[in-house]
Structure 1
C-alpha cells in the first residue's frame, strides 16, 4: 500500500471518529452512570429489593418524560415501543437479579460484557452489516478485559445464573439492534422516545416486582437520595442520552460502550469502598478500554496499490 493511500485511510478514520466524538462522549455518560448503580444500591438502598429499585428507575422517569414531551406513540409505534421497552429495560432487571443472586458479581458482569459480540452477530441478519473479524476480535478482548477486572479467585458458576446472565446480554443486544433498525419516528424527540420505553419497561416490571419481592421496603433519607439518583440520573437523563446515541451512532460503536459500566463500578469500589485493584485488574482495564476505543473506529480495509502500468 502506498504512503498516500495509508494516509488517506488513517485520515478517513480520524475524520469519522472526530465527527462522532461529541455524540459518542454524550452517549458514554449513560454506561458511566450505570456503573454507579452497585455503590448506590449497596450503600444507600434497603437490601433485598433490586427489582423495586429497577421499577423506580424506570416507571417514574418514563412518566416524567411523557409529561415533558407530551408525545405518545402513533400506529405501529405502540407495539414497537412496547417491544423495545421490554427488551431494553423490562427484562434486563429480572434477569440481572437472577444472575446476581446465583453468581458472584464479577462473573455476572463478565457475562454481560459479551453483549458487543452478540450485537456484532445480530447486525448481519438484522441490519445487513458485514460481520468482520475486527469487530469479533475486539468484542472478545472486551470480555477478557472486563473478566480480568472483576472476576475474583473464588468465582463460582451456576448454570441457571450463567443462563440468566447470558440472556440479559442477549436481550439488551437485541433491544439495541432493533432500536437501530427501527430508528426514532420524526414526531418523537429523544425525551419522548426514552419515555415510551421507560414507561413500557416499568409497567412490565410492576407485577414481577410485587410477585417476587412483595411489599415495598421502608425508605429512609439515604434511600430517597439513592432512588432519586437511579430514577432521575440513571433513568431519565441516562436513557434519553442512550437512545439518542443508538439512533445516531454506528451500532458497533454503541455496543462496546456498556463495557464502561463494570469498569466504573470497580473503580468506585476501589476509591469509595477500599477494594484494591491489583496488576491483573489494571491490565484488564487497559484491554477493556482499548476495546472500547477500537469499537469507535471503522474496521480497517485492505487496499491494493495500482501500478502505473495498470493505470493504462
Structure 2
C-alpha cells in the first residue's frame, strides 16, 4: 500500500493537471468498495445496533491501520501543534458523519435515501472555492449540476415519504456537510503525517464519543450475531475502514478538494445497483438514467483544463 505525505502545498487557483493513473485507480477501487458497502451495511444493521456496529468498525480499522504503520515503520506520533487540528478533522469526518448518517437513516425509509449523504460535493465545491481559492470552471459546475440531477433521479418518487420525516433529512444532510467540512480541513491544515497513521488517528480521536456511547445506549444488545452479520462487520472494518478511508484521504491530499468531492458522485449509483444484486431488487429506468447522468458528470469533472497561452 503506497503512502502519501502531506508535503504538498495548498492548491492554487490554477487549473488542475490531468488526473494521474494512480489517482484514477484509487478512485475506481474506492467507488466499488464503498458502493457495494451499502447493502452490506443493511445486512449488518438488521442485527447489530448502530453504535455497536460503528465501534467494531472504527476499532478494527484503527488497529489495522496502526498495524500497517508499524509494519512499514512509519512514525506514529502526531506532530507538535497539530493535535487540535487533527482532532477537529476527526470530529467532522468520523464523529459527525457516522452519528448523523446512522441516526438520520433510522428515521427515513430504507433504500435510496442514503443518496442524500452524497450531496457532499454540493457543499464542498463552494467551500473549496471560498477557503482554498480553487478555481470553479464551467466544466466542473456543469458536472456538479448533472451529477446532482442523477442523484435526484435516484431519489425519485420516494421524495414525499422522505420529507414526511424532516428531522431525518436534516440529519443526513448534516452528515454530508460534516463530511465536506472535514475534507476541507484536511486540505487546509495539511497535517504532516503519512496517510496511514493519519487515518488511524482520525478513527481513534473521532471514535471516542462513539466508543463511550455504545455501552451506555446499547447495553442490552450484546449477543452472538449471525455469520452474515460478522462477515459484514469484517468487510467494513477491513476493506472500508482500512483501505477506503486510506484511499479517500490519499485522494484528498493529491487532488483539489473540489475534484475529490465531486468524484464521489458515482458511489451511490454503485450502491443502488449492488443493492439490486445483493438484496434482489429489480432495476428500473431511474437507476439507468442516473448511471448515465453521473457518468457524463464524471467525464466533465475529470476533463483536463486547456493550458493557458504563454
Fold equivalence (TM over 0.5): yes
Residues 1:89 and 2:94 are matched in the alignment: yes
Alpha-carbon distance, 1:20 to partner: 1.5
Distance 1:52 1:270, change over 3 A: same
Match of 1:203 among 205, 208, 223: 208
Residue 110 of structure 1 is matched in structure 2 by 115
Unaligned runs of 5+ in 2: 1-14, 71-75
Alpha-carbon distance, 1:118 to partner: 0.9
* Aligned 8 A contact 2:48 2:229 in 1: no
Distance 1:222 1:48, change over 3 A: closer
Q: Distance in 2 between matches of 1:280 and 1:225?
A: 31
Alpha-carbon distance, 1:162 to partner: 1.7
Match of 1:156, SS?
helix
Q: Distance in 1 between matches of 2:306 and 2:285?
A: 31
Residue 246 of structure 2 is matched in structure 1 by 240
Residues 1:280 and 2:280 are matched in the alignment: no
Q: Distance in 1 between matches of 2:301 and 2:186?
A: 19
Deviations 1:26-65 (A, max 9, x none): 1342243222222212335553512322222212211332
Residue 310 of structure 1 is matched in structure 2 by none
* Aligned 8 A contact 1:59 1:201 in 2: no
Match of 2:149 among 135, 144, 147: 144
Alpha-carbon distance, 1:298 to partner: 4.2
Alpha-carbon distance, 1:208 to partner: 3.1
Deviations 1:59-113 (A, max 9, x none): 2211332243241202122212211112111211110122212223456333223
* Aligned 8 A contact 1:69 1:191 in 2: yes
Radius of gyration: which is bigger?
1
Give the TM-score of the pair, scaled to structure 2: 0.83
Q: Distance in 1 between matches of 2:279 and 2:285?
A: 18
Give the TM-score of the pair, scaled to structure 1: 0.82
Q: Distance in 2 between matches of 1:240 and 1:62?
A: 11
Q: Distance in 1 between matches of 2:55 and 2:31?
A: 18
Residue 42 of structure 1 is matched in structure 2 by 42
* Aligned 8 A contact 2:134 2:258 in 1: no
Residue 33 of structure 1 is matched in structure 2 by 33
* Aligned 8 A contact 2:113 2:162 in 1: no
Alpha-carbon distance, 1:150 to partner: 4.3
Unaligned runs of 5+ in 1: 1-12, 304-312
* Aligned 8 A contact 2:142 2:300 in 1: no
Match of 1:91, SS?
helix
Q: Distance in 1 between matches of 2:85 and 2:243?
A: 21
Residue 73 of structure 2 is matched in structure 1 by none
4+ aligned runs moved over 4 Å, structure 1: 298-303
Residue 131 of structure 2 is matched in structure 1 by 126
Residues 1:78 and 2:77 are matched in the alignment: no
